[in-house]
Structure 1
Amino acid sequence: MQFFVKHLYLLAPILAILALFGVYRLIKANDRPIPHYEPKQVEDTWSAEEYMRHLNLKPFNQREVHRLLLKRTRQKEGVYLESLLPVMDTAGLEIIRCYHKVMGDDYVPVITSGNDYPYHKKNSKHYKNAAMDFRIVDMPMDKRRQVVEMAQDKLGPRFKVLWEKGEMEHLHVEMTE
């Protein structure tokens, strides 16, 4: 007991060091590096004949649906989509359909984020591979509203479609479950 009383003055510095270490661990836990991703080379577009031939040759599996999503969109440089949940690929194709209905079949939507941006909120669905962002800022205001409303109608209650406004305006699509 006398030993503890004799060295009681060391308690405060030890607690301070432990507190600093705890703060350091919290900061490091929120530090997410951007994953390195080299996209595979895919053909730019499919003609209608190629698309129908492809459908007739083999059924779509998870990889083919993902490949179709990549072919029917452009991706902002650095976007990482390879780990998306399969349901997100299907939701992405529905979003593309909404863009085409509003903007015409020649319009190619741009995916601006998947699981690649280290500055999303800490518990963002992006880090669970259950969210994507689409560029919307290059569209007329009335068309943006149509795409957002149509997308929410098409995807239903299993997904949340948000029109995130501000300097980084985009269409955010995430699973709610």
Structure 2
Amino acid sequence: MPELKVDLRLHSIKEDRFFIQALGGLNEESVQTATTYHIQSTISVDSETNLVNVLFDFKLQLKEPAQSKNVLLHLIAVTTFEVVNHSEVFKPVTKKGDAEVRGIPTELASMLTSTAYSTCRGILYARCAGHVFQAAVLPLLADPSVFLPKAEPVKTAQNAVKSATINHPGADSMPRG
């Protein structure tokens, strides 16, 4: 497979939604043991502007089934990248009427997803500073493919959506920071 060379620029980072619900009775230890993140991710290419949008929707919820619908923290963030050499990177995948549907290479989708996840991780860390939820730091993402569809290539015309649930790491199970 030929090496993929991409001329890429960060276009924008946008917080679409953020809230923390006031909930008594939680301390840093209980936040680590009694909560879990539910995460959805969407990656799409705007064919007119050649911008790649990576949306992450993070919800921190209690693990206990009776209270799991209670969202304690919610962040929706979109990290947008500009692909300068778009004609070399986005290859035609299918024809849909008269319009070409372009695909994003899996390697690029993986890298952009990983970068957007890390960006959101930093946003959450900064937004939760001084709050009991600062103990709910997202773990480092070792494998961004958990958020990518299994089909090759990623078909961006349909906004490929992938979900995951991440439990908080114990103090000695995963690196924090």
TM range (shorter): under 0.3
Query: Higher Cα Rg: structure 1 or 2?
Result: 1
So what's the TM-score if we normalise by structure 2? 0.24
Judging by fraction of residues, say which structure has more strand: 2
Judging by fraction of residues, say which structure has more helix: 1
So what's the TM-score if we normalise by structure 1? 0.24
